[in-house]
Amino acid sequence: SLTGSPVTLKILQNWVPRVSHYFDKEHYTYVGHQIVIQESIEHFGAVVWPGALALSQYLESNQEQFNLKDKKVLEIGAGTGLLSIVACILGAHVTATDLPEVLENLSYNISRNTENLNMHKPEVRKLVWGEGLNEDFPVSTYHYDFILATDVVYHHGALDPLLATMVYFCKPGTVLLWANKFRFSTDYEFLEKVCNIFNTTILAEFPESNVKLLKATVRK
């Protein structure tokens, strides 16, 4: 069951007017830093979706509740890397993961936006949901304080592997923060499965964007 009395928020227009001549670059400002994101129209994963904006904004505004400084953070389905960049600016040790075909653009965005920061250097890695988890991220070595996921649930056939991936990485002490635009009945069915497995709290709702932000932890 879903607990919590969520705050109702609006996704702020945190991007600044474009000064570049490229159609594919978006400029955002979070935590006092201007972030330039190159999008790619070829892949779903290479566009900034509303969930990433919602969670970036929430983390920026709730640093006392979710202090990322020196924490180990894994983003699954990192896409363009905006959220991972924000987590990095907030002081986290970030590992941003996605499918192989998205990694080039993801790496480019992350390196160009974090190279001059005096912070932990983020890592970019391939992660196909539900595949090779134990080989690539053995439990004995990898433990994350936070798992971040935004707009990972939409019309695709990988929902069971996605859930298995969330379960794999969510250990006692790990906090999963998941923001998603809810459009389809399959989105709500996935939410129900998450609620059946984890202690799930709804932190915030962004009604204009149909985005919900949820926190999930392993049941004791």
Give the per-residue pLDDT at 47.
77
Domains, the chain, with CATH or none: 22-218 (3.40.50.150)
pLDDT band for 193, please (50, 70, 90 cuts).
very high
The span from the CA of 97 to the CA of 127, in Å, is 5
Q: Is the pLDDT of residue 164 over 80?
A: yes
What is the C-alpha end-to-end distance of the chain, expressed in Å? 15
The span from the CA of 20 to the CA of 75, in Å, is 28
The span from the CA of 99 to the CA of 77, in Å, is 7
Which of 12-21, 94-103, 110-119, 211-220 is predicted least confidently? 12-21
Which of 24-38, 70-84, 91-105 is predicted least confidently? 24-38
Whether the model clears a pTM of 0.85, i.e. scores above it, the answer is yes
> What tens digit of pLDDT does each residue of 20-56 get?
444 457 888 899 999 999 887 666 666 788 999 999 9
Backbone angles phi, psi at 217, to 5 degrees: -135, 160
Q: Is the pLDDT of residue 171 over 50?
A: yes
Give the per-residue pLDDT at 17.
47
Give the per-residue pLDDT at 15.
52
> To the nearest whole number, what is the mean pLDDT of the chain?
90
CA distances from 122 to 28, 34, 40, 113 (A): 19, 17, 21, 11
